[in-house]
Structure 1
Amino acid sequence: MMARIRKSPPSTDDHSTVAEIFVECIIKHRSCWLHLLANHYNREKKLSLKDIKKIKKLFGHTSPCFLGTFPQRKRSKQMGGLHSIPSRIRKKLDTETFECYMEALWKSFSEEKRMSFTYLDSLWFSLYRKASTRPKVLTWIKQKCIFSKNYVFVPVVCWSHWSLLILVHFGDSSDSETRTPCMLLLDSLESADPKRLEPEIRKFVADIYRVEDREKDKNSISRIPLLIPKVPQQRDDEECGSYVLYFINLFMQNAPENFSRDGGYPYFMVRDWFDPEKLECFRSWLEKELSIKKPVSNSSDFSQQKLRKKDGVILLDD
């Protein structure tokens, strides 16, 4: 019999409440502590962080979450000819899976190579779009010291679609002849109209400058170019997350120390940058790297890591 969870009184502490924008996604968890959490949330208007921790303590071991932990069994030809069902990386990636693969990819590069780059959590841009979590996101970004890096990867997931924003030379002056600040937006689905993100991207950048106390007026920020290269396009709706990971991989391999629009932009970022076969090899390699270096963790453990990492805000998939 399930223990009854008492509803905690409303709290004025932003860290103690569930981020409501992530509640809908947990309904896909079945017969686990996250599923119990979803049921409680449906019955009560608000759950405190204390309530969530109590549910996890009571049911985390007896009702663990195995969503996405086990690979799918391949079907035989006699069962419908679906013997080539794609593995997890070939499916549309949620934010949890993306973070696991991104960490494996990042660790595959040498420490020296990583010195010029950094990347933001794949949920931060989505959280920034919500007024209630925007201040906290800007605090996390400030801790990344992005103005000391040549390139900053910002995974963007909006409207169930992944794209990649790259902030280039943000620590340099706009009048530099060799290192000019700009933004690159790489989208594997041009029909999604990546330009529609520009207003939010520019507001995002302006707020980053503001919290960093950088002397830069709105007019100069508006003049930072947002460039959209004609990159390879995905073949179906399930591949956008994989394309973003491969964009990051190839960009880290090929990006020059000094990126200048006068030097023949977009350099290597062209429509035939890579072919489907190379992307397929990358996917297979990434799966192998992850299985060797970091086995996929239990979803409940991952959620708890996110809970600690983000100062109490529950970050589940968008």
Structure 2
Amino acid sequence: MTKKKLTKEIVVIDLDDLDSSVPEGKHQLSRHRTCWQHVLATLHGRKKRLTKKDHETIDGFKLTAQCFLDFPCRERSTRKISQKNVGHGVPKLNKKLGSGTFGNYFELLWRGFCEEKKSFFGYLDCLWFSLYTKPSFQSKVMTWIQNKQIFTKKYVIVPIVIWSHWSLLIFCNFDESLESETRKPCMLLLDSLESTDPKRLERDIRKFVSAIFKAEGRPETQQSLRKIPLLVPKVPQQRNDWECGNFVLYFIKLFMDGAPEDFSMEGYPYFMESNWFTPEDLDCFCEGLHSDLVAT
């Protein structure tokens, strides 16, 4: 079989004729978003006046970043995709999860629970806690949380991703008054990497909780809010530096399966112990969850 000769096509971009309203595909700019030609073309398209410093920066960029439009491209393969390749675009649970991928897996996991089970639980988006730590987003995050009406639920799942690490915060009995003698509110923080000191988040967590109570118009005082226990059970620990997202998904699954009807400090830590599950259990869960996502 003879190999096809690759043809090299250099696309010339007319910077003076570039209109920012024209889709990028027309000028094939989407193929070289990081090269100096794209930067320069975008600035011209936006009619931005370049300073001397801008010109010097772009001139330096030319020397280190060749335009990818100058490279030859292979023709698209016409072979059919076999069944074993179906779902290859779905990221597997074998690397550190980004918030988007985590959200996809969480939504699938959530849909797998029956309506009766879900009626006891609420959850917050995995980015809301980290966004709240940025002053410019605090008001908006509180508005989103108000719409969730979390104080109507016995349990609220709060996945946290901060400093590139996933952990799980769970609000228990927040539908009760802080003065309740039967079902006292408390917080659980499940972390698969205890060596990083989960308690380092306590200050931000308490600020977050205080802001939620204030936004919801709850009458509790700051003194009573400070007394809400933050519990850190000894849960199984991750084997590498990327499994934290997988652990949080499995924590959610197992906690929702086994959560007591009334969470009490007397039964704590319940099932949340270092032998809660084995590495093999986690691997099996991840394989099944990925297969389900591919199938959908």
Given the two structures, how large is their TM-score scaled by the length of structure 1?
Answer: 0.67
> Is the CA contact 2:87–2:294 (under 8 Å) kept in the aligned structure 1?
no
Query: In structure 1, what is the equivalent of residue 221 of structure 2?
Result: 217
Query: In structure 1, what is the equivalent of residue 112 of structure 2?
Result: 108
TM superposition shift of 1:208? 0.1
Larger Rg: 2
Runs of 5+ in structure 1 lacking a partner? 7-30, 48-68, 73-86, 294-318
Aligned to 1:191, the other structure's residue is in SS state: helix
- The 1:194–1:4 alpha-carbon spacing in structure 2 relative to 1, beyond 3 Å, is farther
1:285 and 2:288 correspond: yes
Query: In structure 2, what is the equivalent of residue 5 of structure 1?
Result: 20
Q: Output the CA distance in 1 between the equivalents of 2:128 and 2:260.
A: 27
TM superposition shift of 1:118? 1.3
| Higher RCO (C-alpha under 8 Å, 6+ residues apart) | 1
Residue correspondence of structure 1 range 20-169 to structure 2 within 5 A: 32=30, 35=33, 71=88, 88-169=92-173
Query: In structure 2, what is the equivalent of residue 238 of structure 1?
Result: 242
Aligned to 1:143, the other structure's residue is in SS state: helix
Residue correspondence of structure 1 range 171-182 to structure 2 within 5 A: 171-182=175-186
Aligned to 2:195, the other structure's residue is in SS state: helix
Residue correspondence of structure 1 range 188-227 to structure 2 within 5 A: 188-227=192-231
Percent sequence identity is: 54
Query: In structure 2, what is the equivalent of residue 63 of structure 1?
Result: none
TM superposition shift of 1:188? 0.2
Runs of 5+ in structure 2 lacking a partner? 1-12, 22-28, 47-85
- The 1:133–1:4 alpha-carbon spacing in structure 2 relative to 1, beyond 3 Å, is farther
TM superposition shift of 1:33? 8.7
1:274 and 2:289 correspond: no
Q: Output the CA distance in 1 between the equivalents of 2:288 and 2:31.
A: 33
Q: Output the CA distance in 1 between the equivalents of 2:270 and 2:32.
A: 46
- The 1:35–1:219 alpha-carbon spacing in structure 2 relative to 1, beyond 3 Å, is farther
> Is the CA contact 1:178–1:259 (under 8 Å) kept in the aligned structure 2?
no
TM superposition shift of 1:176? 2.7
TM superposition shift of 1:122? 0.8
* 1:208-230 deviation digits (Å, cap 9, x = unpaired): 00000000110000000000000
Query: In structure 2, what is the equivalent of residue 259 of structure 1?
Result: 263
Kindly report the root-mean-square deviation, in angstroms, between the aligned alpha carbons of the 2 structures.
Answer: 2.5
Q: Output the CA distance in 2 between the equivalents of 1:223 and 1:253.
A: 28
Aligned to 1:121, the other structure's residue is in SS state: coil
- The 1:144–1:277 alpha-carbon spacing in structure 2 relative to 1, beyond 3 Å, is same
Q: Output the CA distance in 2 between the equivalents of 1:170 and 1:34.
A: 51
- The 1:4–1:287 alpha-carbon spacing in structure 2 relative to 1, beyond 3 Å, is same
Aligned to 1:112, the other structure's residue is in SS state: helix
Given the two structures, how large is their TM-score scaled by the length of structure 2?
Answer: 0.72
The alignment covers a number of residue pairs equal to 228
Query: In structure 1, what is the equivalent of residue 66 of structure 2?
Result: none
